[in-house]
Amino acid sequence: MKPIIIVVGARPNFMKMAPLYRYLESNNLPLILVHTGQHYDKNMSGVFFDELGLPKPDIYLGVGSASHAKQTAQIMVGFEEICEENEPSIVVVAGDVNSTIACALVSSKMNIPVAHVEAGLRSFDMEMPEEINRILTDRISNLLFTPSLDADKNLINEGAKKSSIKLVGNIMIDSLLNNIERAKKSRIHNELNLVKGEYATITLHRPSNVDYEDVFSGIIKAFEIIGNEIPIIFPVHPRTSNMISKYGFEDRINQIPNFQVIKPQGYLDFLALIKHSKVVLTDSGGLQEETTALGIPCITIRKNTERPITVTEGTNTIVGSKTENIVKEWVNISKNKNKKGNIPELWDGKTAERIGRNIIEYLEKH
Ligand code: UD1
């Protein structure tokens, strides 16, 4: 039997692929795990393999960081060779990072079926590199695994074949539910001297927020105001760390009372941090979903989201990047005036199984 290739590349891919890898493995299917190396630091990559129970990748491309064109091209060149050598029955990609589109494009040109996990999400903002990756990957995928009905609608509107769309739910939530018990053993609150329920967690890494000095400065202003009222934990992404140095923001950040800048956290410690936050402020995609699943208020520092269900059903509020709008929503939350939210349908921990069954059925038919 020809192998199934599972592709991972950047941090958000690992928690999406771990449960699927395990399901397919438990069905004795031949698997090849390919890591492109888009993310490579121990705390952006290796730690997730250990904690999520993913095996060491069978093939590591080691492309590293570069411009979009260079990074995507290097992944494509390496991945084409992998496909030539291994003749996979299907290639499974996840999410919206450069590794996703690069490997989908190679496979589709080689007439190898592509399955896209987390298909159909749209921010309708073509300035986001991820939106381009999402649209193009969906267009050339044979199986479109969607997390929620809004994604199905987007795909239908774009002319996708109905039979290729499979509403399976949110696979990130599989990982969350599989690990939330283990996360209870985390010592992070002791280490950081935090009282559960009485601190804010912040993550920030979108180019639109951190690459522009004036925008980033306005966001830090909001942190300066909020930091006077509640301790803040800021696990800082390497891109953001580079930008803090470039714009000389270290002094401002150091002067915020009770503001702890820490390195990017592993999966379990980070889950423990979110679960007991009073509020999460973020521009991440996945975190909007994780906070909804855990019922924690989320302030999204972006002008749009590709995950609208976290707003219509969950705990998420989109506020943009302006100081006053970020602070205004914090004031609501500090007075417990935030919305409470529900857990969306099919965010039940069984998405990997639904995806796995669909893949097996597809391979039997083709
Ligand atoms: C990428 C994804 C983004 C995702 C994010 C999660 C694309 C287009 N973007 O953005 O969708 O939300 O990952 O983290 O695929 N760096 C390190 N160590 C690493 C990785 C990166 O130091 O292990 C630094 C490098 O300086 C690099 C910068 O971070 O230039 C940005 O990394 P890159 O993968 O290009 O984009 P992200 O901002 O991480």
Q: Is 205 one of the annotated active-site residues of the chain?
A: yes
CA of 99 to the centre of ligand 1 (A): 11
Are the CB atoms for 35 and 9 separated by under 8 Å?
yes
96: pLDDT strictly greater than 90: yes
> Tokens 């990982």 label which residue?
175
What pLDDT, in 10s, does the model give residues 279-295? 999 999 999 999 999 99
The per-residue pLDDT for 122 is 98
Q: Whose CA is nearest to atom 18 of ligand 1?
A: 41
The per-residue pLDDT for 339 is 85
Coil, strand or helix at 350 = coil
Numbered ranges of CATH 3.40.50.2000 in the chain: 4-169+347-365, 184-334
70: pLDDT strictly greater than 90: yes
CA distance 264 to 252: 20
The per-residue pLDDT for 42 is 95
What pLDDT, in 10s, does the model give residues 202-246? 999 999 999 999 999 999 999 999 999 999 999 999 999 999 999
CB count in 10 Å sphere of residue 131? 18
CA of 10 to the centre of ligand 1 (A): 7
CA of 203 to the centre of ligand 1 (A): 13
Interval 62-90 mean pLDDT? 98
Mutate to test the pocket of ligand 1, among 35, 38, 132, 136 (most ligand atoms within 8 A of CB): 38
Task: Mention the CATH class of domain 4-169+347-365.
Answer: alpha beta
The per-residue pLDDT for 338 is 86
The per-residue pLDDT for 314 is 97
CA distance 299 to 320: 9
What pLDDT, in 10s, does the model give residues 138-166? 999 999 999 999 999 999 999 999 999 99
Domain spanning 184-334, CATH architecture:
3-Layer(aba) Sandwich (3.40)
Mean pLDDT of the chain: 97
CB count in 10 Å sphere of residue 68? 12
15: pLDDT strictly greater than 90: yes
Taking the CA of residue 10 as reference, the ligand 1 atom at the shortest distance is 13
- Per the document, the length of the chain is 366
pTM of the model: 0.97
